[in-house]
Amino acid sequence: MVKLNLYPSVKHLHAAAKKKLPKFSLDYVEGGTGLEAGLRRNRDALDATTINPKYINDWASLDTEVNLFGRNFSYPFGIAPMGLASLQWPKAELIFADAAKNANIPVGLSTSCTVAIEEFGATAGSHGWFQLYPPQDEEINDDLLERAERSGLEVLMVTVDVPARGWRPRDMYNGLSLPPRLTAASLYHAACRPRWSLATLASGIPYFKTMGRYSKDKSFRGMADFIRQELGKPVTRERLKHIRRKWKGPLVIKGIMHQLMLKLLSKWDMMEFSVKPWWPTVGCLSVTRRGLGRYHPK
């Protein structure tokens, strides 16, 4: 168990991770697409975000609890889904799930996960949410929804802002591809982190365990080609309607960037909309809140 008192800030945690993870593993988490301008804008926007304190009040107690989708969580945030999480540590998704349950916060599981939905559900329980990249094959799409429901994952997050695979220079430079491409540099960086390397070898090279079962070709290359074919495509209104019919629980649309997109989703009409990709994510929060009005979760 990590002693958090040794790491009083994210900066300290980052320094520790840098000592324990191979460069290609850390770059996968830290890296962005293209020139990584979006990462810088997000960081700058978060640093510029301020909280207006209200003093001279009789606060009986401080309460950080929030009710979301009928469940009380201890804090108004959770652990976001991350594909290929076991590249950081074997079965990382299960570590996230256990931590989220102990902290009483939600935790997301990516379609590109390296554990089975069923494993994750057994650990996360009602704290688990499933993040869906809708596959092109509708039967696979529906089976994923059924598996998520059977596994006890109560909330579905449909990602709509990844209509194509991202151009990730760091991963390309490090040879981090599907299937993995071994280079002298990647072998060197792995050898410099023996604990990570031994743990990964003992657990097995990470692969997309949830989606892998649908691939006829079980080789690394076969599953990689299958994943590329099925995921990372535009999500249509018709597909969203289909998912809404199939999924009976709470449904979150992940990737909303504009008020008109909210109207599009709420009315299912034929409105045109324009995304503002230069906005940092935190800057979209106030916009979506105004767009949803009284329907925005408190």
pLDDT-derived band at 181, boundaries 50, 70, 90: confident
Q: Are 124 and 100 in contact (CB under 8 A)?
A: yes
Q: How far is residue 1's CA from residue 218's CA, in Å, rounded to a whole number?
A: 35
In this predicted structure, the answer to whether residue 28 has a pLDDT above a threshold of 50 is yes
Q: Which of 43-52, 97-106, 206-215 has the lowest mean pLDDT?
A: 43-52
DSSP-based three-state secondary structure for 108: strand
Q: How far apart are CA 152 and CA 136, in angstroms?
A: 24
Kindly list the distances between the CA atom of residue 105 and the CA atoms of 15, 29, 66, 118, 166, in Å, as whole numbers in the listed order: 25, 21, 10, 19, 29
Burial zone of 25 (CB within 10 Å; 0-12 exposed, 13-18 middle, 19+ buried): buried
Reply yes or no on whether the pLDDT at 197 is more than 80.
yes
Count of C-beta atoms within a 10 Å radius of residue 293: 8
- Residue 22 confidence (pLDDT) above 70: yes
Averaged over 29-44, what is the pLDDT?
Answer: 87
Comparing 5-14, 54-63, 121-130, 190-199, the range with the smallest average pLDDT is 54-63
Check pLDDT > 70 for residue 233: yes
60, pLDDT greater than 60:
yes
Q: For 234-249, what is the mean pLDDT?
A: 92
- Mean pLDDT calculated for residue range 85-107: 96
pLDDT at 182 over 90: no
Give pTM, 2 decimals: 0.85
Residue 236 has pLDDT above 50, yes or no: yes
| Residue-by-residue DSSP string for 245-262 | HH--S-EEEET--SHHHH
Instruction: Give 261's pLDDT tier (boundaries 50, 70, 90).
Output: low
Mean per-residue pLDDT of the chain: 85
Q: Is the pLDDT of residue 278 over 60?
A: no
Q: What band does 260 get if pLDDT is binned at 50, 70 and 90?
A: low
HSE (CB half, 13 Å, CA atoms) of 256?
A: 22
Q: Angle at CA 176, nearest 5°, toward 175 and 179?
A: 100
Predicted local confidence at residue 253, as pLDDT? 87
pLDDT value for 66: 93
pLDDT in tens, 98-128: 999 999 999 999 999 999 999 999 999 999 9
Question: Which range among 103-112, 162-171, 203-212 has the greatest average pLDDT?
Answer: 103-112
180 pLDDT higher than 70: no
Q: Is pLDDT above 60 for 269?
A: no
- CA angle at residue 273 from 269 to 279, to 5 degrees? 140
| The pLDDT of residue 265 | 55
Residue scoring higher pLDDT (267 or 73): 73
- The reported pLDDT for the residue numbered 85 is 94
Lowest model confidence (mean pLDDT) among 2-6, 48-52, 70-74, 165-169: 2-6
* Structure token digits, residue 216: 């006829």
Domains and CATH numbers, the chain: 66-255 (3.20.20.70)
